[in-house]
Amino acid sequence: MTDTDTKNIEALPRGEALLHDPLLNKGTAFTLAERRALGLEGLLPPHIHRLEEQVARVMDNYRNKQTDLERYIHLVSLQDRNETLFYRVVVDHIEEMMPIIYTPTVGQACQQWGHLFRRPRGLYVSWEDRGRVEAVLRNWRLPDVRVIVVTDGERILGLGDQGVGGMGIPVGKLSLYTACAGIDPSRTLPVMLDVGTENEGYLRDPLYMGLRQKRIRGAPYDAFVAEFVEAVKRVFPRALLQFEDFGNQNAFRLLEQWRERVCTFNDDIQGTAAVTLAGLYTALRLTGKSLREQRVLFLGAGEAGIGIGDLIVSAMVDEGATLEEARRNCCFVDSHGLVVKSRTGLAEHKLRFAHDLPPAPGFQAALEAIRPTAIVGVSTVPRSFDQRVIETMSRMNERPIVFALSNPTSKSECTAEEAYRWSGGKAIFASGSPFPPCHLDGKTFVSGQGNNSYIFPGVGLGVVACQARLVTDRMFAAAARTLASLVLPSDLELGRIYPSLTRIREVSAHIGAAVAEVAFQDGLAGVPRPADPLAMVQAEMWHPAYRTYA
């Protein structure tokens, strides 16, 4: 044993304390020398297993579970015991695991959070902690946090207000940061800001784990969030702060308030926009058209829809369109019909897309009036892209672009099979949640999943690697172009407009390099530009392999 190894051993907890630390625990993979040096003899079965053998045991148990929620619980329990093994399982089986550790199954977990709770993960910062938020953050035992995902639980996926159960989203997002982009799990922190809930069912549930009160609103809410952000700057000065699943009335305002002051972004607005723009870029390889020629009709005018519209407009302007022309090419339908200038009481974020058009009472009427080349569903209204909608799009376009992006699966505007069948196989389809392959007239279609996991992990990786001071829209535009460029001809032949998830770590590395390059160009990086930004980003990536302690 070298001196370095000795110091390494001496710094570790011993015995059962080591086995209860998920970042250090190796379970039955501890060698005989490690067991003797670390006080583990007798605490583990005698046979020493390789990591690959442990993965096989996990998968055997996993596949014996009867429901996806049971599989989720099984994996989260593993994560609480042994993070290296958890991430090795996820990375080796990413296509199988993604729908379990994130959407759609994580939505079920959020809905039952108080009933499934086993052990805490991350930090719960409640309204009752105001004035002491910095002290709460300092209770976190790992000082070098680089990525924080925070939610207040108000708009979880398409499920609405989940209160403190929304913690499942930051936990799941950060799992994807590590699995998809190699962010060291010891440098991640999920945070739940508990300011109450409007969900009457939870307020009546004796097992609900959050504050039993209605949500704090207005100036007191803003002051509480501000205290949190300022505390993050002091306690974790090198951290990227991702806002996640905040309600529309807060999401846009908080992003505008903080985006020029701290290293932050909102994935629902900017990440969703980038993955959708990437899908459009790829779809245009199939249609042979330019982005400037597209007319996009959105169903849903919340943070996701408006964020997508803004980024598409920016990309069209980059291709030579005027700002006015680009905005005219993006139209929105909300719960009151087509967003037009003559409507009163429009929310601030909708005004720039309120065009001088006649009113249209619903999506079908707007479809006939606008005659779009692409429709984008971000409404959380299931089956709103019905047969008539798809058939109308197919009549208007040789290759209609149909993106049903609402999550979870139960909220999707249509299924992959419906889009392909009702369009006679003409649709270029993507969805927010995964759908199985579709077989139609002797052809197999494998739809693309326009999931933000293609974007935010790589963006975060690039920001962390170059120590960017801010996160900008130019970074998300670069991420979208990079993602589209990585779609292979073999993907397009199947109808898939995103790369296979099996390539997600490769994709994230290239996106990270593109994001870092923007930071270097714009003077936002905290390190000098290296000769090879991709190599710099790849060197930052953590891999799920056991450390040797003795």
Q: Is 208 a catalytic residue?
A: no
Q: Is 102 a catalytic residue?
A: yes
Q: Is the sign of the CA dihedral 306, 312, 317, 323 positive or negative?
A: negative
Task: Pick the catalytic residue from 26, 124, 173, 546.
Answer: 173
* CA–CA gap between residue 117 and residue 130 (Å, rounded): 25
Token pair recorded at residue 363: 């999506």
Contacts of 531 (CB under 8 A, 6+ apart): none
- Hey, what are 516's tokens? 């870092």
Measure CA 484 to chain center: 18
What is the enclosing helix (H) or strand (E) of 392? helix 387-396
Single-letter residue type at 193: L
Out of 72, 102, 420, 454, pick the active-site residue. 102
Residue 498 and residue 434 in contact, taking contact as beta carbons nearer than 8 Å: no
Cα first-last separation, the chain = 6
Q: Which of 144, 147, 150, 153 is nearest to 178 (CA)?
A: 147
Instruction: Show Cβ contacts of residue 495 under 8 Å, excluding neighbours closer than 6 positions.
Output: 420, 428, 429, 445, 446, 447, 448
Residue 251 makes CB contacts below 8 A (sequence gap 6+) with 155, 243, 266, 268, 269, 303
- Burial label for 269, CB within 10 Å (0-12, 13-18, 19+), is buried
Which residues are designated catalytic?
A: 102, 173
